Amino acid sequence: MSSTENVKSVHLPQAIAVTAQSSSKNRLFKSAMSEQMGDANYQPTAELAHLYQVWAQGGTGLLVTGNVMIDRTALGEPKNVVLDDKSDLADFKKWAKAGTQNNTQLWMQLNHPGKQTPKFLSPEPVAPSAVPLAKALQSSFNTPRAMTEQEIEATIERFAVAAERAMQAGFTGVQIHGAHGYLVSQFLSPHHNRREDKWGGSLENRMRFVREIYHAIRQRVGDSFPIGIKLNSADFQKGGFSEDDSMQVMQTLEKDGINLLEISGGNYENPSMMGAKVKSSTIAREAYFLEYAEKAKRLLSIPLVVTGGFRSSQAMEDALSSQATDMIGIARPLAVDPDLSNRLLADVHYKVALKPLSTGVKALDFMAMLNITWYEQQLHLIGRGKSPNPNMSAWLSVMRTFAGMGSAAFKKRRA
């Protein structure tokens, strides 16, 4: 059997069961990316639906949406989509129908930003405790107010309502965003969560919030609807969520019944999920969190996804063959080549290269959040029925960012 045949018949396209009633047609997993395609009423646009139709035709087995907010008073970005009891499901049904073509799984990522909401969107953000973000970020983010227990309970219910409505709209699963420093991640971190009630202190108490979210969702959607979570391997900051904490949370969530775990890491203060401070050994294997995944796989039996850094069929094959992961998470490469999964499945030697992005002026790159907005602009091109432009200059991207968002372009953006 040739190596290409091996890819096609054994590894990447092999179906993986998520629940007894649900499976992905292959092991390629499109991880969440910020799309910025919500309208003035926080509804998904026709362009967003078209983007996911293109990705569905591109061969990826499981697509996860960019983060959909569960509370329209708590946004992470100005053009977020929100799904709550006020949302019109008609637009969400169009999105789900587009993204489930070609036997594709489409899961909605559900999120609450907590304190990671910029000043121009939230003058008084909420969080587990009134702990500000790092000093370097305080010019863009206000110090949060500690949530009351009533607010915590109401937020848990909002996650459940959003999940039930996603199922009603035709999405085939949901993913809780428990990584990257957003609200669920803040509750898990002893640095950000300094509460002295049942929601803070011990790890058992700190994980109570995410466990209650899971149970509330499960009660609404039933046993056969898949629920996953994106979880940090660690926060990579002093006094934060540790690797040992992460392992214990994963094991607990598996016992609770969660169906799939996606591994990531970092937050706004230490953006490891963006490839910051990558070791040479990591570069060689491509994936950012593969070593952690190998440890986690010894403890878990549910499907595990590693996202971040994969660029070649061979590295993906190696990660799957070593059983370090069950699915390959891909994000940015799909922004420049929405047909990437079909190419990976057809050619074991296929590689994708992403060019470094910089105007040469670091302060300008930072203000424009170039490593996020450049990719968002590729998604907008696809959404409008055009081809992405991998050769778009950094300068053009920055100018479009400032022209399109005005003063908001200078605010800190989601990672």
Tens of pLDDT along 31-63? Answer: 999 999 999 999 999 999 999 999 999 999 999
For a pLDDT cut of 70, what percent of the chain falls above it?
86
Confidence of residue 266 (pLDDT cuts 50, 70, 90): low
Q: What is the pLDDT of residues 378-411, one digit of tens each?
A: 999 999 999 999 999 999 999 988 887 554 544 4
| pLDDT digits 0-9 by tens, 346-357 | 998 999 989 899
What is the C-alpha to C-alpha distance for residues 196 and 341, in angstroms, rounded to an integer?
A: 47
Q: Give, to the nearest 10 degrees, the angle between helix 370-383 and helix 394-405.
A: 80
- Identify the pLDDT of residue 1: 31
User: What pLDDT score was predicted for residue 268?
Assistant: 46
Q: Which CATH architecture has domain 3-354?
A: Alpha-Beta Barrel (3.20)
Task: Please determine, for residue 365, whether its predicted confidence score (pLDDT) is greater than 60.
Answer: yes
> Is the CB of residue 350 less than 8 Å from the CB of residue 343?
yes
Kindly report the average pLDDT of the chain as a whole number. Answer: 88
What percent of the chain lies above the pLDDT cut of 90? 70
pLDDT in tens, 307-348: 888 999 999 999 999 999 999 999 999 999 999 999 999 998
Q: Would you state the pLDDT for residue 348?
A: 87
Q: Are 282 and 233 in contact (CB under 8 A)?
A: no
What per-residue confidence (pLDDT) applies to 11? Answer: 52
Average pLDDT of the residues in 236-251 = 81
SS3 of 303, please?
Answer: coil
pLDDT band at 275 (very low <50, low <70, confident <90, very high): very low
Phi, psi at 121, each rounded to 5°: -105, -25
Split at pLDDT 50, 70, 90, the class of 276 is: very low
pLDDT higher than 50, residue 26: yes
- Highest average pLDDT, of 220-224, 240-244, 319-323, 370-374, comes from 220-224
Q: Other CB atoms closer than 10 Å to residue 242's CB: what's the count? A: 18
229 touches 207 (CB < 8 A): no
Q: In terms of Cα–Cα distance, which of 95, 86, 94, 84 is closest to 35?
A: 95
Q: Specify the 3-state DSSP secondary structure of 200.
A: coil
Residue 234: per-residue pLDDT: 65
pLDDT of amino acid 233: 81
Domain boundaries, the chain: 3-354, 356-415
More confident residue, 286 or 164: 164
Confidence class for position 142, pLDDT limits 50, 70, 90: confident
- Lowest average pLDDT, out of 28-42, 117-131, 186-200, goes to 117-131
